[in-house]
Amino acid sequence: MRTMIRVMVVDDSAVVRQVVQEVLRRHPDIRVIGTASDPIFALQHMQREWPDVILLDVEMPRMDGVTFLRQIMEQRPTPTVICSSLTEQGAQITLDALSAGAAAIITKPALGVSDFLRGHEDELASAIRAAAAANPRRLVNKLVAPKLSADAVLSAPTGTRSLGRTTERFVALGVSTGGTQALEFVLPALPRTAPGLAIVQHMPERFTRSFAERLNNLCEIEVKEAATGDRILPGRALIAPGGRHMLVKRNGAQYCVEVVDGPLVSRHRPSVDVLFRSAAKSAGVNALGIIMTGMGDDGARGLKEMFDAGARTAAQDEASCVVYGMPREAVRHGGVKEVLSLDRIPELIVRYGH
């Protein structure tokens, strides 16, 4: 008797989700355990019941499919079939999806997708069966680059507790999966008098600028995509550009950021570990480090370096996280002074500025 294959369908089109369930229902060895309009909703469902195969679109709100695939393959490798109109033959997104660990790719048309899915039902079912039989760990081990530490971008801090206090202080904040919603809660709650923030949100290039602009329209403080030389000022939040690292630099009693190229650190660029290490080296006691919702462990070591340098540190609690991965690892590494819920983080930031 063939084992039942549990499938999670992630696509922002309600029509696609409905038709996929309809056609797969005719295959007794395949069961759709859930559908979701974006990866955040999918992950919340998957934490209750993990699928054998993920059927994944690429272009979706809040997180694109390739970013989600990379995170899944790093944390819990799961066979994934990409089904998207963006994955045309030879397209860069196809290479990105394969490099991230996709087991198969099905190209659906931009128009007439319902008829296409019904007409290619056997192809879809066969791709799911083949993916379920694959070993995703072997695939990802071949394709994922070595996991580098912040050493690949800047040296470890030494003697940072001797850094003197400055008149300016700032907040270094790192966040990943679930972070867009978390930041949309935290930043609009801050007054113009709040301390400056340097923020790494795991997000691909081309997305961070529009995300910063959206936040800027929601907030009393200024929010912008960071550029080299930008000062960290009260009432301003700087978002690291996707695809580049962001470091904090000290200039007298003032702080600014430097945006640099470099390898993936903790398999991310921008990396929270890079931001936190730079804050430990340049600011020490003059910084507050906060790590929030996200998969993996990026930021855990950097927050410990901030803690050792005399900085105040905090982590979002499990109950309010979409994914309690990065905060849990930061606690495990011993770099977290306090753990608090999402709704208390704006208050912490405001109090720190006074």
Beta bridge partners of residue 245, listed in sequence order: 260
Banded pLDDT at 252 (limits 50, 70, 90) = confident
Residue 176 known to be catalytic: yes
Q: Given the residues 38, 52, 64, 176, select the one marked as catalytic.
A: 176
What is the percent of the chain with per-residue pLDDT over 90, rounded to a whole number?
57
Q: Given the residues 11, 52, 202, 230, select the one marked as catalytic.
A: 202
Q: What is the largest CA-CA distance in the chain?
A: 72
Structure tokens at 17: 């989700």
- The alpha carbon of residue 269 and the mean position of all alpha carbons in its chain are separated, in whole angstroms, by 10
CA distance 140 to 77: 8
Residue 202 known to be catalytic: yes
Residue 245 known to be catalytic: no
Strand-pair category, 312-316 with 287-291: parallel
Higher-pLDDT residue of 93 and 157 is: 157
Banded pLDDT at 142 (limits 50, 70, 90) = very low
- All structural domains of the chain: 5-143 (3.40.50.2300), 150-352 (3.40.50.180)
Task: Annotate 182-219 with three-state secondary structure.
Answer: HHHHHHHHCCCCCCEEEEEECCCCCCHHHHHHHHHHHC
pLDDT of residue 110: 73
Q: What is the pTM of this model?
A: 0.73
Residue reference for tokens 């319902």: 114
Higher-pLDDT residue of 161 and 325 is: 325
Res 171 pLDDT > 90: yes
The answer to whether 199 touches 186, Cβ cutoff 8 Å, is: no
